[in-house]
Amino acid sequence: MTAATDPRDRGGAAQPLLIVEGLRKHFPIYGGLLGRRQATVHAVDDVSFSVRKGETLGIVGESGCGKSTTARLLMRLIEPDAGAVVFDGETVGSRTGIGVDAMRRQMQMVFQDSYTSLNPRMTVAESISYAPRIHGLARAAANARADGLLGQVGLDPGQFARRYPHELSGGQRQRVNIARALALDPRLVILDEAVSALDKSIEAQVLNLLTDLKRRLNLTYVFISHDLNVVEFISDRVLVMYLGQVVETGPVDAIYARPRHPYTRALFASKPTLDPDRRTTEPPLAGDPPNPIDPPSGCRFRTRCAFAAPTCAETTPRLAPPLPGPISRPPDDPQHLVACIRAIAQAGGEGLDA
């Protein structure tokens, strides 16, 4: 089934399946004798992006940058403080849009920890068939769907359907989680570090499985990972986050061939590679990210940036195309955006060195 023939498709291929506008989430910290609010963790701040139908958007960044919090906000596992999520033209949770329950039937999530994601008291078949049964499917039909999904993810139903999570390996459990996420025939799947806990050989098998499922079932992915090589392999576009904000986004080929933001460049410098043509002399990131309770003013990366200028402390950069100059963007990547006042400097200005 293609996006054009999917009866749930409202706006055609031109309309993004997911639009995120100004998403924000701050977590209060309470303490003291009266339990008053003492501080605030700026987990996600003004995050906006879109995901086109049939593509894979990779989200990368250091631990604590807000990747997983963003995923949970999309699924409404936690409520945002501000911002909107629009699913295929309908605002999630609004009176005239799509309800959270209806959205979750079309958008599912696979978590990092394959063991705690499954109920230890339910068999594999029960875990997969649970959601279809809750939504009104008869037991026999739900069990048949569970068997079919096990086959699709490469597990023999006769061998695995009656097993419990503790009887499976990590790779097998993650395949069960993928099957469970597909039980309601979703259109978009969020994969939050779904392969990071697996051995490399098993990781490759699961990545190939995800690629095959996307093609056969016409899925759209939001793929969150700290592994830059994995993101490059599976993604069509990449979104780079730092301390709760988006600092760079664009097509995967453009981002990996010529990253524009100093953070992205430093992040890629830490990526291991055996290819001599892919090695870099860029210095890796130094130190830890600032405390999200009290993030720096202006550009949040300026305290670790070798190119920081006094204006970086005064101006909060917004995503914009790099302009012609020392690090001008190639003409074939108009969607390549960067939030850095030095990277969008005009020729003759204060642009970064190429």
Q: Which residues contact 84 (CB under 8 A, 6 or more apart)?
A: 19, 20, 21, 22, 23, 91, 92, 94
> What confidence tier does 2 reach under pLDDT thresholds 50, 70, 90?
very low
| Structure confidence at residue 52 (pLDDT) | 95
Mean pLDDT of the chain: 87
Choice among 40-44, 139-143, 268-272 with the minimum mean pLDDT:
268-272
pLDDT, tens only, 241-298? 999 999 999 999 999 988 889 999 888 887 766 666 666 666 667 677 888 999 999 9
β-pairing verdict for 36-51 and 337-338: unpaired
Distance between CA 174 and CA 153 in Å, rounded? 10
CATH for the stretch 18-235: 3.40.50.300
| Structure confidence at residue 3 (pLDDT) | 46
Residue 148 clears pLDDT 60, i.e. is over it: yes
pLDDT, tens only, 91-135? 998 888 899 999 999 999 999 888 899 999 999 999 999 999 998
Report the half-sphere exposure of 115 (CA within 13 A, side-chain side). 7
Q: Cα–Cα distances in Å, from 290 out to 39, 47, 184, 269, 303?
A: 15, 19, 41, 20, 8
| Structure confidence at residue 206 (pLDDT) | 92
Torsion of CA 259, 260, 265, 271, to 10 degrees: -20
Q: What is the mean pLDDT of residues 225-230?
A: 91
| Domain residue spans of the chain | 18-235, 239-338
Distance between CA 354 and CA 350 in Å, rounded? 12
- Comparing 287 with 236, which gets the higher pLDDT? 236
Choice among 5-14, 63-72, 313-322 with the minimum mean pLDDT:
5-14
Residue 325 clears pLDDT 50, i.e. is over it: no
Tell me how many degrees the CA angle 136-147-53 measures, rounded to the nearest 5: 70
| Structure confidence at residue 5 (pLDDT) | 65
> What confidence tier does 236 reach under pLDDT thresholds 50, 70, 90?
very high
